[in-house]
Amino acid sequence: MTIKVGVIGAGRIGKVHAETVIYRIPEAEVVAIADVAEDAARHVAETLRIPHVTRDYREIMADPGVDAVLVCSSTDTHTPVCIEAAQAGKHIFTEKPIDHDLKRIDNVLAAVKAAGVKFQVGFNRRFDPTFARVHQAIQSGEIGDLHLLHIISRDPAPPPVEYVKVSGGLFLDMMIHDFDMARFLVGAEVEEVYTRAAVRVDPAIGAAGDVDTAVVVLTFANGVIATIDNSRRAVYGYDQRVEALGSGGGISTANVYPNEVTVSTGEHVRRDLPLNFFMDRYTASYEREVRAFFDAIVHDTPVPVGGPDGRVPVVMGLAARKSLQEHRPVRLSEVE
């Protein structure tokens, strides 16, 4: 069985996923790529030898030979593309978030359920080997009953302000990965969110109506307390760490470095800075999440990150923003 695949979106992540399928997923074949910027799609197609290029993704939907689509276009297109893909009977892998609006997300999930197709959301960090090991330690009881969780996620530099204006902001664009990671690691649902945030990096981000520095406290139904801290700028590199404390011990992760060298002299002990870009830090996780999607198709098993997993972090992001605006803890039931 060879799964015929259409890629929608020829930007950075679209190219990465297309490369993964072409070079690392033998049971799948990319047969088409679409992007409104047709030149970008054509460039990726020529580089990767994808046979069909179009600026209209509907051509892919109309092709009965396409079995699955990878939705890598801008967030504002995810809902219509996913609904049309479901109605066309295509299995769907979509980048996060599904949408910024819960009603639109629910429309997608309803279409997917009615069509009976596979639907996976791209929360790639679950597939990172380091974070997977933390998950194993917590869920197996290796560190006892979990009490506290702390997630650090800091970008090396802020994105362009024009991106900030359409991204959904820090809570729905950046921290949404950490909301998902918190649920994944704790293995329970969040009941309450409390946010403190400010503009400490770039005044233009504040002028755009967003924040660039934030701490969020999550209270889980099982009693676990988690904190997430985000910053749009860590001058030393891409800072991605987790620490968990349980009744029987703890587990923590370090940043990933381009090498393991430590230089020691009479003046200092130092090493190179950590990896500076998310595409470098999470290379393995991008491959593993796409592989899991196609495994679910081939073996007709549930996808590891389904529609509800894509919806809940958006609820958490909306609650975090409401908490910041109203200066109080917010229960998730308030924004459902």
Question: pLDDT, tens digit, for every residue of 171-203?
Answer: 999 999 999 999 999 999 999 999 999 999 999
In angstroms, the CA 282 to CA 20 distance is 13
| Residue that terminates a domain, selected from 64, 86, 117 | 117
pLDDT at 283: 94
**Counting runs of H as helices and runs of E as strands, what totals does the chain give?**
13, 15
Tell me the mean pLDDT in the region 147-166: 96
Co-location of 60 and 81 in the same domain = yes
- Residues belonging to the chain: 336
Give residue-wise pLDDT tens across range 222-238.
999 999 999 999 999 99
Half-sphere exposure for 175 (CA within 13 Å, toward CB): 32
Beta strand ranges found along 126-222 (DSSP E): 146-154, 190-198, 213-220
Sheet containing 225-231: which strands, arranged edge to edge?
249-252, 239-246, 146-154, 225-231, 213-220, 190-198, 330-331
Co-location of 252 and 212 in the same domain = yes
| Diameter over CA atoms, the chain | 68
DSSP 333: G
Co-location of 242 and 131 in the same domain = yes
Half-sphere exposure for 188 (CA within 13 Å, toward CB): 19
Give residue-wise pLDDT tens across range 8-26.
999 999 999 999 999 999 9
Co-location of 132 and 101 in the same domain = no
pLDDT at 147: 98
The answer to whether residue 292 is domain-embedded is no
| Residue that terminates a domain, selected from 117, 138, 172 | 117
The answer to whether residue 308 is domain-embedded is no
Residue 95 sits in which domain range? 3-117
Co-location of 216 and 140 in the same domain = yes
Asked if residue 336 has pLDDT above 90, the reply is no
How far from 162 is each of 168, 171, 207, CA to CA, in Å? 12, 17, 11
The predicted model scores a pTM of 0.96
Give residue-wise pLDDT tens across range 51-82.
999 999 999 999 999 999 999 999 999 999 99
Q: What DSSP line would sit under 102-148, residue for residue? A: HHHHHHHHHHHHHHT--EEEE-GGGG-HHHHHHHHHHHTTTT-SEEE
Co-location of 159 and 206 in the same domain = yes
Percent residues over pLDDT 70 in the chain: 100
Co-location of 10 and 112 in the same domain = yes
| Residue that terminates a domain, selected from 71, 99, 117 | 117
Asked if residue 254 has pLDDT above 90, the reply is yes
pLDDT at 244: 98
The CATH number that applies at residue 257 is 3.30.360.10
Asked if residue 1 has pLDDT above 90, the reply is no
